[in-house]
Amino acid sequence: MSETALAIALAAFAAGSVSAMAWPSGPGARRVSLASAFVGCVAALALGIDVLQSGISWTWRSGALLQPLGGVSLRVDPLAAFFVSIVGLTGAPASIYALGYLRELDGGVRGRAVHALFNVFLAGMCLVPLADNVATFLFAWEVMALSSYLLVVSDPKQEGAPAAGLWYLVMTHAGFLALLAGFVILAQDGPLEFPAMRAAAGALTPAAQGIVVLLMLAAFGSKAGLVPVHVWLPRAHPAAPSHVSALMSAAMVKLGVYGTIRVLFDLMPPLSPWWGGALLACGVVTALTGVLYSVAEVHLKRVLAYSTVENIGLIFVGPGFALLMRGYGNVVLAAMGLVVALFHTLNHAVFKSLLFLAAGAVVHGARTSSLEAMGGLIKRMPHTAVLCLVGVLALAAVPPLNGFTSEWLTFQLLVAGARYTAPALAIMLPLALAAVALVAGLAAVSAVRLFGIAFLALPRTDGARDAHEAPATMRAAMLLPALACLILGLVPTLALTQLTAVVTELGLPMGQLDTGLALVLPLVGSQLWPVAIAALLAGAGLVAAAVSRTSRGYPVRIDTAWNCGRIAQSPRSEYTAAAFAEPLKRVFTGFYQPTHEVTVDVHPVSPYFVRGITLRSDFAPWMEQTLYVPLVRAARWISNQTGRLHTGSIHLYLALLPAALLALLLIARWIR
């Protein structure tokens, strides 16, 4: 059945991209193409769920397709199926959303291109986890990267899109090269098929192993957004159309997680626990960096993009922990680490796609993307506000939503790890736990700030005052992930039991999980019963509401806010997004390195008469400055030096040709 589903999905994506280009002008192209995308996503989801439940994996090979590169090999196993189902799960609402969101592009060439590329992007993302040889993997990887690049730069009016696209393109291709090099070293002269590589990987020397791990982490980390190779992410996500940002954040960066797990836990032999510690530290640093920037950023979609960086960090804590525990010989804990990582991958995919879709609706409705220009949207966009609140609460990891469940599991994971391992980890695991707790707390700050500044209080600009509610298709599309947030939060075992099958397939058996409503894990001495907590919350909340309604002796009066006796209330006196983050900026001064620039304009007669004060406050992007500026400078220097050869003299060029040939022959001889 899953073969058919894959065929349907790929056919639908192909039909979607062709029809977007070929359909007669008008809204038809949009509808047909996005309907195809939706069908494809549903088929992909069906494929994923079917394989996850049955556990049947199959392979398919064709030597004719991509023949010069060694043919196409596909294999569906539970791990691949899980990631395909994430693509389907988030792609389906994104397709519905685009129906309303991109209505303005009807009839134009750009609209057609965006719909066609959207389908290609989805197809690429579905194929990456299914690839079973290097050629297919890299081909699908590149299809995904290029189509998403084109989507990022698709809006000419979007300020900064070309620069964002360039960052993305350079990072993703540097990653591609690293990936290629890593695969070639991993294969060691053998065939570039994953099964053969898996069999041969045991023969790698420790040094080669280390190089492969580093190359793979650089490549997959740059796709996923691990610090310090995350820099493209907060640039590219805001530039892309919102349904594409949702997919990039929910599905595409997750394929970096997929690649890491596939290579480190499937293709490669067991690694030393040292790598686990390094990966865990990398995840924690990524999470902290992401959340600190997300708290301070004022651009709505960039807040969400940094929050993606944060969550990727939290996800990478899982594989790092798993490597560490496998190194210490505790297979069950290692399996739990991966299960928690995969579960958070799913949860984040769901709530972040919801939030990006809501952000798109807000930017669309209020015609601004800066939090400082919003405000009061809850009255103008009531449905979007409710849906966004669900996403925001999931982001803040509070019960009874899904973000809380994965945070709880991460905490339990680190506690269990600390209990069952040597005192060698006596500082590392408590520090990791503290960092995860700090990240959770700061994520709550970021969530409150996002919702409170954008949706509550008075509108700060005319754009926010005249904001309109999103079309029905967009709201319906947001409803799907919102429901998924609630369901995964209330019944986490629904997904967790499937995930144990995934890690068992990777040689890390975890045993059968309890399928009841309560969450009971092996080696964890405590349990969680989300439905009961939710019921308790609902019950107590309703009683409180009833008490406040029945007890009051006088009717409710609606009047101006008291505000400690201040009479005039204007949006200018509201708390701003920057002000909300100010205490944290002061606490973490060393991280933000804020710059303050105050200019006081005084009257020429006397300096005591101030006519105006301007304050510019920003924080230094020191990570980019220290890491990337030297690289860019070096690249520019090299290209300048190379440019000197381009004198225009054909004799010189002819002389260079044999010189290059000779150099290549020498290198080839040296390698053999």
Partner 1 sequence: MTVIVLAVTQCLFLMIAAPALVGYVRWLKARLQGRRGAGMFQPYRDLRKTLAKGMVIADTASWIFHMAPCVVVASTVAAAALVPVISANQAGDQLGDLFALMALLILGTIFLALGGLDPGTAFGGMGSSREMTVAALTEPTLAIAILSLALTAGSTSLGTITNTLLTTPSNAIGPGHALAFAAFLIAMLAETGRLPVDNPATHLELTMIHEAMILEYSGPYLALLEWAAALKLTLLLTLAANLFVPWGMATSDGAGALAVGLAAVLAKIAVLATLLAVLETRVAKLRLFRVPELLAMSFTLALLAATSSFFTR
Restricting to residues 426-455, name those near partner 1 by CB under 8 A: 426-427, 430-431, 433-438, 440-442, 444-445, 447-449, 451-453
Q: Which of 545, 627, 655, 664 binds partner 1 (CB under 8 A)?
A: 545
> What's the DSSP call for residue 158?
S
In angstroms, what is the minimal distance from the CB of 82 to partner 1?
Answer: 26
Q: Which CB, 191 or 583, lies closer to partner 1? A: 583
CA dist., res. 55 & res. 76, Å (int): 10
Cα 531–chain centre separation? 28
In angstroms, what is the minimal distance from the CB of 623 to partner 1?
Answer: 22
Q: Which of residues 560-619 bind partner 1 (CB under 8 A)?
A: 560-564, 566, 569, 571, 573-575, 579-584, 586-587
Q: Which of 64, 109, 558, 650 binds partner 1 (CB under 8 A)?
A: 558
In angstroms, what is the minimal distance from the CB of 64 to partner 1?
Answer: 55
Q: Which residue shows structure tokens 């995964």?
A: 488
SS3 assignment, position 672: coil
- CA 336, 342, 347, 348 dihedral sign is positive
Helix (H) or strand (E) holding 596: strand 594-602
Q: Which CB, 164 or 457, lies closer to partner 1? A: 457
CA dist., res. 317 & res. 320, Å (int): 5
SS3 assignment, position 154: coil
For residues 117-131, b (16+ Cβ closer than 10 Å) or e, as one string? bbbbbbbbbbbbbbb
Helix (H) or strand (E) holding 567: none
In angstroms, what is the minimal distance from the CB of 228 to partner 1?
Answer: 23
In angstroms, what is the minimal distance from the CB of 225 to partner 1?
Answer: 22
Q: Which CB, 47 or 454, lies closer to partner 1? A: 454
In angstroms, what is the minimal distance from the CB of 557 to partner 1?
Answer: 5
List helix spans (H) across 66-160: 78-101, 109-130, 134-152
Q: Which of residues 454-473 bind partner 1 (CB under 8 A)?
A: 456-458
Q: Which of 24, 68, 553, 607 binds partner 1 (CB under 8 A)?
A: 553
In angstroms, what is the minimal distance from the CB of 432 to partner 1?
Answer: 10
Q: Which CB, 258 or 404, lies closer to partner 1? A: 404
Q: Does 544 bind partner 1 (CB under 8 A)?
A: yes
Q: Which residue shows structure tokens 């905490």?
A: 411
Contacts (Cβ under 8 Å, ≥6 apart) of 419: 523
Q: Which CB, 220 or 451, lies closer to partner 1? A: 451
Q: Which of 163, 199, 538, 615 binds partner 1 (CB under 8 A)?
A: 538
Q: Which of 24, 64, 109, 554 binds partner 1 (CB under 8 A)?
A: 554
In angstroms, what is the minimal distance from the CB of 402 to partner 1?
Answer: 12
Please tell me the count of residues contacting partner 1 according to CB under 8 A: 92
Terminal CA-to-CA distance of the chain, rounded, Å? 47
Contacts (Cβ under 8 Å, ≥6 apart) of 539: none
In angstroms, what is the minimal distance from the CB of 290 to partner 1?
Answer: 14
Q: Does 35 bind partner 1 (CB under 8 A)?
A: no
Q: Which CB, 46 or 304, lies closer to partner 1? A: 304
Q: Which of 384, 411, 389 is nearest to 401 (CA)?
A: 389
How far are the Cα atoms of 97, 98, 150, 346, 626 from residue 361, in angstroms, in the given order? 9, 11, 22, 23, 36
In angstroms, what is the minimal distance from the CB of 611 to partner 1?
Answer: 24
Structure tokens at 388: 């966004």
Q: Which of 423, 590, 612, 658 binds partner 1 (CB under 8 A)?
A: 423
Cα 616–chain centre separation? 31
Q: Which CB, 127 or 442, lies closer to partner 1? A: 442
Q: Which of 7, 177, 547, 662 binds partner 1 (CB under 8 A)?
A: 547
Contacts (Cβ under 8 Å, ≥6 apart) of 305: 233, 234, 236, 237, 238, 245, 249
What is the identity of the amino acid at 463? G
Q: Using H for helix, E for strand and C for coil, what is the string for 246-267?
A: HHHHHHHHHHHHHHHHHHHHHH
Q: Which CB, 469 or 574, lies closer to partner 1? A: 574
How far are the Cα atoms of 50, 147, 149 from residue 244, in angstroms, in the given order? 26, 10, 10
Q: Which CB, 43 or 414, lies closer to partner 1? A: 414
Q: Which of 66, 184, 418, 483 binds partner 1 (CB under 8 A)?
A: 418
In angstroms, what is the minimal distance from the CB of 536 to partner 1?
Answer: 5
Q: Per CB under 8 A, which region of 240-248, 257-265, 478-486, 520-528 contacts partner 1? A: 520-528
Q: Per CB under 8 A, which region of 91-99, 175-183, 261-269, 401-409 contacts partner 1? A: 401-409
Q: Which of residues 358-397 bind partner 1 (CB under 8 A)?
A: 375-376, 378-379, 393, 396-397
Contacts (Cβ under 8 Å, ≥6 apart) of 451: 388, 389, 392
Q: Which CB, 426 or 654, lies closer to partner 1? A: 426
Q: Which CB, 158 or 576, lies closer to partner 1? A: 576
Q: Which CB, 34 or 413, lies closer to partner 1? A: 413
Q: Which CB, 35 or 389, lies closer to partner 1? A: 389
In angstroms, what is the minimal distance from the CB of 485 to partner 1?
Answer: 15
Cβ 147 vs Cβ 117: under 8 Å: yes
Cβ 102 vs Cβ 111: under 8 Å: yes
Q: Does 407 bind partner 1 (CB under 8 A)?
A: yes
* Phi, then psi, of 479 in degrees rounded to 5: -65, -35
In angstroms, what is the minimal distance from the CB of 374 to partner 1?
Answer: 12
Q: Which CB, 3 or 462, lies closer to partner 1? A: 462
DSSP string, 281-327: HHHHHHHHHHHHHHHH--BHHHHHHHHHHHHHHHHHHHHHHHHHHHH
Q: Per CB under 8 A, which region of 98-106, 410-418, 462-470, 640-648 contacts partner 1? A: 410-418
Q: Which of residues 258-317 bind partner 1 (CB under 8 A)?
A: none
Q: Does 150 bind partner 1 (CB under 8 A)?
A: no
In angstroms, what is the minimal distance from the CB of 547 to partner 1?
Answer: 7
Q: Which CB, 52 or 436, lies closer to partner 1? A: 436
Q: Which CB, 456 or 487, lies closer to partner 1? A: 456
DSSP string, 473-539: HHHHHHHHHHHHHHHHHH-THHHHHHHHHHHHHTT----PPP-SSSEE-TT---EE-HHHHHHHHHH
Q: Which of 53, 527, 617, 626 binds partner 1 (CB under 8 A)?
A: 527
Q: What track of x and - describes contact with partner 1 for positions 179 through 218 (by CB under 8 A)?
A: ----------------------------------------
126: left (phi over 0), alpha (psi -120 to 50) or beta: alpha
Q: Which of 95, 245, 368, 412 binds partner 1 (CB under 8 A)?
A: 412
SS3 assignment, position 203: helix
